[in-house]
Structure 1
């Protein structure tokens, strides 16, 4: 069941909570297999990383005190704990495709005194490629090339100082990658409430208008948003 289409919904950028109490990271464990990267159906350019294929085996690195419910996985995948996967399905949320059992080959503790009791089993899923598209006029991005494809709208981005979605493009997914910035996961307000209500961990949710990524400290764009 899709979310109700609110005419002015709130959206958040979903990231792992690096340096948090549940900071957990992953890497593929041998044998690691990848398929082709997804491509835009119109311009045929890649819009994501190569697809992670079975067997789904990972090594986890625990930088926090306890394993988290959400982990950024290989390729375009994410790992979610079994309890989160069950709650997601039971509440009818949408936008996470597939639900594959993951074998944890090893856990490396990176913090003294960390514990491994919670969230010991995971499922692999892939956030969908949504129809929601960035509003280029209202988003504050430093693109390194102009948008040329009206479908994927994807180009390189040097810095981000807030996103906005083009009105009427979102189709109700609770978790999705937006057109114009497929490397970032957006979630709708219902998903944010779901996370808070259940207390799921290792997730940082930032309102899209407030999200900043500026590794070169260039500051907000002025004039055209792709220079």
Structure 2
């Protein structure tokens, strides 16, 4: 029986495994209906993309050798295979909303390879906006403007060279979008163990302090300085 993970909270940035053996993405198939974007309860500014409303119809784009359990697409929505969705709920993990059955209209091959013999059922989910807040002093983010709202802390971000959360702000969700960097999908260490134990596919989990996203090549900020004791 596997031992429990260490008690100190660690976080990972969850992404799809592009160019991996289960590289799968999705596109929304017409008709696509959208609702309002979630808003910050304090400043009223949008905190994410427009919500996806039924019908949930998709075209899968397969680049790997087989379809993955985790499938990203446009916006903040993603898909989970039936086996992953059922395991997530059966083990009492938290942080995901929706679990809407999805109709797979077709599977499109993006690279040479065999077509899948069968397409598993998928469910559309979104991750919650968690209470965990980015620790500005111990993260290395290039922001496009100063943070003005103490609640959502939303601003544009040009580059990330490591993320940390303020101690005591995380409330135990296994998957969530943190205050101050809602564009990143964070997971708990429990979720990382869950993925490894079940062998779920098409996921890359990077320790948050090692995560780099820098599409413009701006480089990292100066390393945070420790406060003298």
Give the TM-score taking structure 1 as reference length. 0.93
Please tell me whether residue 97 in structure 1 is matched to residue 93 in structure 2.
Answer: no
8 A Cα contact 1:52 1:74, kept in partner = no
Any idea what SS the aligned residue of 1:167 has? coil
Matched length: 220
Structure 2, unaligned runs of 5 or more = 225-229
RMSD over aligned CA atoms reads 1.7
In structure 1, how many angstroms separate the alpha carbons of the residues matched to 2:69 and 2:41? 33
- How far residue 76 of structure 1 moved from its aligned partner, in angstroms, is 2.0
Alignment check: 8 A CA contact 2:130 2:170 kept: yes
1:75 Cα deviation after fit:
3.2
8 Å CA contact 2:140, 2:223 repeated in 1 = no
Q: What TM-score, normalized by structure 2, do the two folds share? A: 0.92
1:53-72 counterparts in 2 under 5 A? 53-72=53-72
8 Å Cα contact 1:69/1:119 also seen in 2: no
How far is the alpha carbon of 1:222 from its aligned partner?
Answer: 3.4
Residue correspondence of structure 1 range 9-158 to structure 2 within 5 A: 9-117=9-117, 120-158=120-158
Q: Which residue of 2 aligns with 1:170?
A: 170
Give the Cα–Cα distance (whole angstroms) in 1 for the partners of residues 41 and 17 of structure 2: 33
- Take 2:67 and 2:98, find their aligned partners in 1: how far apart are those partners? 22
Q: Which whole-Å CA distance do the structure 2 matches of 1:71 and 1:223 have between them?
A: 34
Once superposed, which parts of structure 1, at least 4 consecutive aligned residues long, lie more than 4 Å away? none
User: How far did 1:74 drift?
Assistant: 4.0
Distance change in 2, residues 1:118/1:69 (3 Å) = farther
Contact 2:93 2:174 in 1 (8 A): yes
Does the alignment pair 1:184 with 2:200?
A: no
Q: Is the 8 A contact 1:65 1:111 kept in 2?
A: no
Instruction: Please list every run of 5 or more consecutive structure 1 residues that lacks an aligned counterpart in the other structure.
Output: none
Q: Distance in 1 between matches of 2:53 and 2:199?
A: 30
The Cα shift of 1:72 comes to 1.2
Change (3 A) 1:121 1:172: same
Q: Deviations over 1:137-185 (max 9, x none)?
A: 0000010111110000110001000000000000000000000001111
